[in-house]
Structure 1
Amino acid sequence: MKTRWLIAVAVMAFATCAFGATPTTLTLQRGGTTVPTTTPLGGAPLTSLELDPAMTGGDTDSGNGLGLGWNTVVNRSIAHGHAGSNRMGNATRAKSSPELLGGLDGLNFHDQRYANGGNQFSVEPPDQGLCSGNGFVMESVNDVLAIYDSHGNKLVGPVDLNTFYGYAAAINRSTGAYGPEITDPSCYYDAATQRWFQVALTLDRIGSSPFLAGTNHLDLAVSQTSDPTGAWNIYRLPVQNNGTQGTPDHGCALGFCLGDYPHIGADAHAIFLTTNEFSLFGPGFYGAQIYVISKQALASGAASANVVLYNTGDPSIPVIGFTVWPAISSGGEYVGAHGGTEYLLSSDAVFYNSGTSNTIWQWSVSNTHAIDTMPGSVTLNVSPLTVQQYAVPTSLAQQKPGSTPLLDCFALTGCAPTYLGYPNIVYPGPRALAVNDSRMQQVSYANGKLWGTLDTDVLLGDGSHGSGINYFVINPNSGGIYVNDTLALPDANLTYGAAAVMQSGRGVIAFTVVGPNDYPSAGYASLDAKIGAGAVHIAMAGAGPWDGFTGIPFFGSGPRWGDYGAASVDGNTIWIASEYIAQTCTLTEYLTAPLFQCGGTRAALGNWATRISAIGF
């Protein structure tokens, strides 16, 4: 697959390339209904099983039973090389944030771990799903969600996603029974239909055992009204793509594909879900998948909806897509040309041994108005766009030193064995975080333009490597680039940039700021099609270092900080959400009852948090 892809890059012209790939037509069936209902927080502060054993390897060195293993079920990154970049950004730090209307602390590790009475696993890193509309803001992180009004008042939450989607608890700590594993949530409010769409990847078990069955599906919940606190319909889309349950057979190693990293977009006629397809139990990447689903059927609560699936790993498609992110519309502006068109973007540096590229790919799905009547006539096209060189980040992000009670307990003789059931391990200080690869992040369609971001390697002021954000504003009709540059600071990393843009063309990039002088903090910058990105604003400074369990003690390359950020438009307000650290405490406070919770601000094995901010125009 790599050879075919490299040849395609060399021979393709700039003009949009149509090809004869035959889509797979499917039918999506409606299942049950749900109403988001707050589940109680509770449970033991630490158990003998904190991580889902199906998603981690056994911890053979310590034998402590905590499940703090290192061997994930599948390596869901495909970066081949890390040559680094010699590019430096020229961003400055803003002295004030006049556009910041306010904000609130969103979901955090304490909410995630102790939701549903504590019948949850410890899950890190935080995957950020945020959407807004009709005066509501909804946030979903890992396997919990919450709903707020436009003033920041929490209306519902935390709600564990197992309960929301109608499943048994992730882990019933009274009986030991397992429910499905749910991950990678995203959401979208569609102004045209006044419906909310929430998607997550669900991995089935063999009965109530900890073992994965191999089958996995996208759970898609669609609100029945414009109020997300009311009733929702649930649709389930199988994505194991091995010929079972109506799926095509893509030949994934060891029998089951995995629909990883789902994200959502829309045009006037269809909802778009995309995934990265890996083998669930073995090695191999099989191409991004693009699912086109009848929006009208979903919005009306129909018993079934037409689906068209394009597999970018199909040999007839001249480029293998990776993280093909569909565009969201911020105000019901859609492309009417060619019978209705949706645009998607992807990057390709991860395929090269150099880890660098100056190409991104613009995908378009056209004739979407036919999804309800002639779904097989929906067409897919792709074209390369030349952009400023970007690179897979090469270095870990250093943190500002501060109190790290979990690490302090590991270092203190007797503390970890007594309280955590783990041997003592000495760390010199707050560990560095692994940032994102160069996969595409959130894509928006606004003011007739495509807006996108991705993380890239940059040089910091001291000559070391760090992470910045490459952004671009594209004319999707001609492939012309209005603006393309790198947002970077000389003394800190910017990571997981997500851009949202109003129909007027005024936008915001949200991200996390972390460096030797910065605890992980929530940041943002303005974005404009003429002048590019503005100064870096700190929406909320981190209160202390990240002090999570991932990487103790076997992840030599460092733990990944998050998976993606999010930003969303509601009227004249852009809501943004970024991972940051909202708390700090001492070892003494950490060991004070209730154990490991520092007054309800964290859990035993992690302290990540999220910041939701409102930017006004």
Structure 2
Amino acid sequence: MKFTSQMTRRRALGLATASLIISAGLITPTTSLGAAAGGTRAIPSGGTTSIQTRPLGVDGLQQPELRPGGREEEEGDGEAGQFTRPRPGFKNGKFPKKPLDAPVVASSAVAGSNADVQASVNGLTHRDQRLANGGNQFSLEPPDQALCVGNGFVVEAVNSVLRVRSSANATALSGVQDLNTFFGYPPAINRTTGVIGPQVIDPVCLYDPDNQRFMVVLTTLGSLPNGDFTGKNTIDLAVSNTGNPLGTWTIYHVPAQNDGADGTPDHGCTVDGVVHGPCFQDYPHIGQDANGVYVSTNEYDLFGPNFSAAQIFAFSKAQLAGHPASVNLTLIENLAVDGSPGFTVWPANSPAGEYSSERNGTEYALSTIAGDGSETGNPTGTARRLGIWAITNTASLDTATPDLGITSRLTNSQTYVFPPKSDQKPGNIPLGECINDTTMPTPFGPGCWQAFFVPEDEPAHDEVESTPDSLDSRMQQTWYVNGTLWGSSGTAVRVDGELKAGIAWFAVSPKINGAGKIEGRVTKQGYIALANNNLTMPAIAFTPAGKGAIAFSVLGETNFPSAGYVRIDESGSVGPIHVAAAGLGPADGFTSYKAFVGDPPRTRWGDYGAAVTDGGNIWLASEYIGQTCTLAEYFPSPNLANFGSCGGTRTSLANWYTRLTKLSQ
């Protein structure tokens, strides 16, 4: 359904287009891509900033609630062949000739207690995000979670907001800071003038233990006052000037449209598959070694239909720590592995001192080659190969002329398969029930639905509880510890005869040979599944002592969306499933319903979670549902007073929460 703007009436959404912020074995031949072809350029400082929070806005509907003309991210939508770029040819053994069956997996046990939990608190919520900066924000889902810990602090970010906590007990040390303001931009929307600011998406966070610096990175899309995109987009990086994130930060805005403008290379992106246009850096993720900080992205046409390849933006850690007037940025362009474009090449994070010194410094990364096939060219949505990557000569990042190498290869792994959508335990869905209601009195006539839609857009009143998205089988967070590279991804599993979403995890032993090319194999791997339930959005982290954890969401026939985890050690031993915070109700956000997003809806459920270590304890961030309410509580008054807030536990358009959990080593 299209959204038509009626700013003076009851259209809470009031848009032309809805914006879903979304967003052991044989080795195949090595591909070495040589030096970083994108070159190095100086990025001037964009000034300084600090966390200056404003009071939250007020409950109730404000027009518009969804960003007009926003970027609807393509990733993981389950429609193979979505992009029109030329497909790489098949190579024997790289992609399956036909889809592989989902692995049959035994159900894990569920732990009866959580003795290793030192603290567990609600993190940022949709309500925090929407009402930040005095309410000058849009409704967004799902949460994209950033987390970093060090020097006594926890920095968490979700979508377009940030907050600082104490790592001692998870107590909040700041209010909720909107990221538009933090990065020096106008607000997402000025509720007084209606002017729309740049769109900030996909935050990630890193703590540099060697220099005691916090970093927050995201993609920003420039826009006109009406919300239309200008074509310019940047990788924005904020670095704390000290080890205290409550102090001053320095900002760097890296032009990233890669269309030849603003010092960027020209990657041939289009506006329609033919006419030249800007590229767009999606799904940024961050890692580090002794010498550098590495931000990987997936590059698409901003306005057109094509996917390019993964890119890596590399910075000197030492240079960033000094917050100079300009920093060097080295771009590693258009990554490929065995003839396929790289997709979600996730650079590894490491605890202090757990870095590879090979080839004058090496940063490792992992990827998969399945997804839905749109980006990788694999039409089956299934695979049993992993991509292993290495950026070499990283010590050169501290010189005036960095000379990085990149090498990649595929290695055999267990099977992973595009996961199904996740069912969830039945419960109250007041937003869905509101759309279906045709009798409750409102100022506009009978029917709760009239709070959102004008009569000519009356919905079908047939909404049902949703099946949250399980994303796809891309690699999620990776860690390099004690010479082993760890990663995890989503996969379909068959558990107790049912097809469910589960988790595949991998341990890889990588090294660089005498010719400077990467070698390695999967040394340990396994699956995690739970009968009658789904496990989604895994995030893995390890301490130097070889103790780890994998965070995820748990949802299904017997669980509302909950925050779960397992413990794992360097031997590959995986413990039972723990529920750190049990969900209280179903997901009930606007992406769940046809009336808002079309048919079929795609309930957006986290594009990524987070897991980090401060060298001892492990911190986890997962999405869950931390509230529930009835339609009567959602719509307590015919005059729409306190509409949708359910006593201050949610907003009218979404009810997602995040959960932060601290585990002992």
TM over 0.5: yes
Alpha-carbon spacing, 1:83–1:318, altered in 2? closer, same or farther (3 Å):
closer
In the alignment, which residue of structure 1 is the partner of 2:57? 42
Confirm or deny that 1:524 pairs with 2:565. yes
Deviation at 1:260, TM superposition (A): 0.4
Deviation at 1:224, TM superposition (A): 0.3
The one-letter code of the counterpart of 2:328 is: N
1:438 pairs with one of 473, 489, 514? 473
Q: Is the Cα–Cα contact under 8 Å of residues 34 and 407 in structure 2 kept in the other structure?
A: no
1:417 pairs with one of 414, 431, 449? 449
Deviation at 1:400, TM superposition (A): 0.4
The one-letter code of the counterpart of 1:479 is: G
Summarize the alignment of residues 63-142 of structure 1 with structure 2, pairs less than 5 Å apart: 72=72, 80=80, 83=99, 85-90=101-106, 91-142=108-159
Alpha-carbon spacing, 1:603–1:298, altered in 2? closer, same or farther (3 Å):
same
In the alignment, which residue of structure 1 is the partner of 2:654? 606
Query: Hey, what's the Cα distance between the residues in 1 that align with 2:460 and 2:161?
Result: 31
Deviation at 1:279, TM superposition (A): 0.3
Alpha-carbon spacing, 1:557–1:51, altered in 2? closer, same or farther (3 Å):
closer
Alpha-carbon spacing, 1:75–1:454, altered in 2? closer, same or farther (3 Å):
closer
- The 3-state SS of whatever aligns with 2:590 is coil
- The 3-state SS of whatever aligns with 1:480 is strand
Q: Any idea what the Cα deviations from partners look like across 1:146-170, whole Å, max 9, x if unmatched?
A: 1100211111121100111111110
Q: Any idea what the Cα deviations from partners look like across 1:133-185, whole Å, max 9, x if unmatched?
A: 11111110000011100211111121100111111110001101111100100
Tell me the TM-score normalized by structure 1: 0.92
In the alignment, which residue of structure 2 is the partner of 1:159? 177
Alpha-carbon spacing, 1:167–1:19, altered in 2? closer, same or farther (3 Å):
closer
In the alignment, which residue of structure 1 is the partner of 2:85? none
Q: Is the Cα–Cα contact under 8 Å of residues 397 and 432 in structure 1 kept in the other structure?
A: yes
Deviation at 1:555, TM superposition (A): 4.1
In the alignment, which residue of structure 2 is the partner of 1:355? 381
- Deviating more after overlay: 287-296 vs 329-338: 329-338
Confirm or deny that 1:299 pairs with 2:325. no
Query: Hey, what's the Cα distance between the residues in 2 that align with 1:34 and 1:167?
Result: 11
Deviation at 1:528, TM superposition (A): 1.8
Q: Is the Cα–Cα contact under 8 Å of residues 436 and 463 in structure 2 kept in the other structure?
A: no
Query: Hey, what's the Cα distance between the residues in 2 that align with 1:84 and 1:561?
Result: 25
Q: Any idea what the Cα deviations from partners look like across 1:222-269, whole Å, max 9, x if unmatched?
A: 000011111100001111000000000000112010000001111111
Query: Hey, what's the Cα distance between the residues in 1 that align with 2:76 and 2:229?
Result: 17
Confirm or deny that 1:594 pairs with 2:611. no
Alpha-carbon spacing, 1:217–1:227, altered in 2? closer, same or farther (3 Å):
same
Confirm or deny that 1:615 pairs with 2:632. no
Query: Hey, what's the Cα distance between the residues in 1 that align with 2:483 and 2:35?
Result: 28
The one-letter code of the counterpart of 2:193 is: T
Query: Hey, what's the Cα distance between the residues in 2 that align with 1:543 and 1:129?
Result: 23
Confirm or deny that 1:566 pairs with 2:610. yes
Deviation at 1:572, TM superposition (A): 2.0
Query: Hey, what's the Cα distance between the residues in 1 that align with 2:370 and 2:335?
Result: 17
Query: Hey, what's the Cα distance between the residues in 2 that align with 1:275 and 1:356?
Result: 22
Summarize the alignment of residues 325-336 of structure 1 with structure 2, pairs less than 5 Å apart: 325-336=346-357
The one-letter code of the counterpart of 1:417 is: W
Q: Any idea what the Cα deviations from partners look like across 1:555-587, whole Å, max 9, x if unmatched?
A: 415323110000110242101010000000111
In the alignment, which residue of structure 2 is the partner of 1:473? 507
Summarize the alignment of residues 170-189 of structure 1 with structure 2, pairs less than 5 Å apart: 170-189=188-207
- The 3-state SS of whatever aligns with 2:69 is coil
Structure 2 portions without partners, runs of 5+: 1-25, 82-97, 272-276, 439-445, 512-518
In the alignment, which residue of structure 2 is the partner of 1:513? 554
Query: Hey, what's the Cα distance between the residues in 2 that align with 1:338 and 1:198?
Result: 28
Q: Any idea what the Cα deviations from partners look like across 1:265-299, whole Å, max 9, x if unmatched?
A: 11111110110000010101100001111111111
The one-letter code of the counterpart of 1:342 is: E
Query: Hey, what's the Cα distance between the residues in 2 that align with 1:84 and 1:523?
Result: 28
- The 3-state SS of whatever aligns with 2:264 is coil
Query: Hey, what's the Cα distance between the residues in 2 that align with 1:107 and 1:125?
Result: 12
Q: Any idea what the Cα deviations from partners look like across 1:23-65, whole Å, max 9, x if unmatched?
A: 2122222111010122210145112311111116xxxxxxxxx
Q: Any idea what the Cα deviations from partners look like across 1:328-356, whole Å, max 9, x if unmatched?
A: 11234211111011001111013321111
Alpha-carbon spacing, 1:122–1:428, altered in 2? closer, same or farther (3 Å):
closer
Alpha-carbon spacing, 1:42–1:197, altered in 2? closer, same or farther (3 Å):
same
In the alignment, which residue of structure 1 is the partner of 2:281? 259
The one-letter code of the counterpart of 2:390 is: S
Q: Any idea what the Cα deviations from partners look like across 1:518-577, whole Å, max 9, x if unmatched?
A: 100000001123233221110010011110001421141532311000011024210101
Summarize the alignment of residues 528-543 of structure 1 with structure 2, pairs less than 5 Å apart: 528-543=569-584
- Deviating more after overlay: 85-94 vs 226-235: 85-94
Deviation at 1:493, TM superposition (A): 0.5
Summarize the alignment of residues 124-523 of structure 1 with structure 2, pairs less than 5 Å apart: 124-150=141-167, 151-206=169-224, 208-254=225-271, 255-313=277-335, 318-350=339-371, 351=376, 352-373=378-399, 375-393=401-419, 395-413=420-438, 414-421=446-453, 423-427=458-462, 429-461=464-496, 463-477=497-511, 479-523=520-564
- Deviating more after overlay: 548-557 vs 494-503: 548-557
Query: Hey, what's the Cα distance between the residues in 2 that align with 1:135 and 1:555?
Result: 47
Query: Hey, what's the Cα distance between the residues in 1 that align with 2:506 and 2:604?
Result: 25
Deviation at 1:409, TM superposition (A): 1.0
Query: Hey, what's the Cα distance between the residues in 2 that align with 1:465 and 1:426?
Result: 30
Alpha-carbon spacing, 1:248–1:212, altered in 2? closer, same or farther (3 Å):
same
- The 3-state SS of whatever aligns with 1:358 is strand
In the alignment, which residue of structure 1 is the partner of 2:94? none
- The 3-state SS of whatever aligns with 1:550 is helix
- The 3-state SS of whatever aligns with 1:298 is helix
In the alignment, which residue of structure 2 is the partner of 1:4? none
Alpha-carbon spacing, 1:233–1:353, altered in 2? closer, same or farther (3 Å):
same
Query: Hey, what's the Cα distance between the residues in 2 that align with 1:85 and 1:507?
Result: 29
Query: Hey, what's the Cα distance between the residues in 2 that align with 1:504 and 1:15?
Result: 34
In the alignment, which residue of structure 2 is the partner of 1:65? none
Alpha-carbon spacing, 1:78–1:320, altered in 2? closer, same or farther (3 Å):
farther
Query: Hey, what's the Cα distance between the residues in 1 that align with 2:601 and 2:139?
Result: 21
Alpha-carbon spacing, 1:93–1:427, altered in 2? closer, same or farther (3 Å):
farther
The one-letter code of the counterpart of 1:196 is: F
Deviation at 1:313, TM superposition (A): 4.9
- Deviating more after overlay: 407-416 vs 18-27: 18-27
Query: Hey, what's the Cα distance between the residues in 2 that align with 1:385 and 1:606?
Result: 41
Query: Hey, what's the Cα distance between the residues in 1 that align with 2:255 and 2:73?
Result: 19
Query: Hey, what's the Cα distance between the residues in 2 that align with 1:321 and 1:424?
Result: 41
Alpha-carbon spacing, 1:281–1:75, altered in 2? closer, same or farther (3 Å):
farther
Tell me the TM-score normalized by structure 2: 0.85
- The 3-state SS of whatever aligns with 1:19 is strand
2:37 pairs with one of 5, 16, 23? 23
Aligned residues: 587
- The 3-state SS of whatever aligns with 2:319 is helix
Deviation at 1:319, TM superposition (A): 3.6
Q: Any idea what the Cα deviations from partners look like across 1:463-522, whole Å, max 9, x if unmatched?
A: 332111100111112513231011111211100000010011110000000101110000
The one-letter code of the counterpart of 1:580 is: Y
Q: Is the Cα–Cα contact under 8 Å of residues 524 and 539 in structure 1 kept in the other structure?
A: yes
The one-letter code of the counterpart of 2:509 is: N
Query: Hey, what's the Cα distance between the residues in 2 that align with 1:77 and 1:401?
Result: 24
